Amino acid sequence: MRVPPEFHPFWSAAQHADPTIDAARFYEAFAFGDSEHMADELAQLVLAGTKRATAGLAWTYEVENKPPPKPGDLSIVTTWAGAPLCIIETTAVDAVPFEDVTEDFAATEGEDGGTLEAWRRGHAAFFARECARLGREPHPRMLVMCERFRVVYQPSQ
């Protein structure tokens, strides 16, 4: 994929700050979640260093005919409105059944206190909405793409 034109100034500033940020590694520009409140709240957790992982349904990638991210990929995290906030580098991706997501992963994702119970509750609701959008039925063995990342560029405030 190519860096979309609206993000060229942001990407150029990132490359100036860190020459290892290579456009050939660009994966996507995205906002977390499925609402403005969720997107902006989760982005703030990333900027604070609390959220260092994210999870998505394998079905979403299949339906969108898009490969999941892989280690080394770079993505721009945006607000719901599309304003770029930072660039993350994917460090690991594991396909795991929903019911087998670990306490460690939930803590790394950093949402709602980082407990596995809170992760399952919040993600069951989110994935139910995603399944409805995709025409699928959620179940405990559905594959979740558990992605770990690190922030590689965040502009100075």
In CATH, what number is assigned to the domain containing residue 29?
3.10.400.10
* Residue 62 CA, distance from chain mean position: 17
* Mean pLDDT, the chain, integer: 95
136 φ/ψ angles, rounded to the nearest 5 degrees: -120, 160
pLDDT above 70 for 157: no
Mean pLDDT value across residues 18-31:
96
Domain of residue 45 covers 5-153
pLDDT band at 139 (very low <50, low <70, confident <90, very high): very high
Percent of the chain with pLDDT over 70: 99
Cα-flanking dihedrals φ and ψ of residue 103, to 5°?
-60, -40
d(CA 67, CA 46): 23
- Top pLDDT among 114 and 10 is at 10
Output the six-digit token pair for 54.
């994210």
- Say what the pLDDT of residue 4 is: 96
The residue written with tokens 């394998």 in the block is 58
pLDDT value of position 23: 94
Q: What pLDDT sits at residue 35?
A: 94
Cα gap 45→2, rounded to integer Å: 27
Q: Which residues, at least 6 apart from 111, have a Cβ–Cβ distance to it below 8 Å?
A: 42, 45, 51, 118, 119, 122
| Percentage above 90 pLDDT, the chain | 96
Rounded to an integer, the average pLDDT of 107-136 is 93
Strands 26-30 vs 74-78: parallel, antiparallel or unpaired:
parallel
Total domains, the chain: 1
pLDDT of residue 113: 86
Q: Return the amino acid letter for 37.
A: H
- Give residue 156's pLDDT: 82
Note the pTM of the prediction, 2 decimals. 0.94
Q: In this predicted structure, what is the pLDDT of residue 1?
A: 75
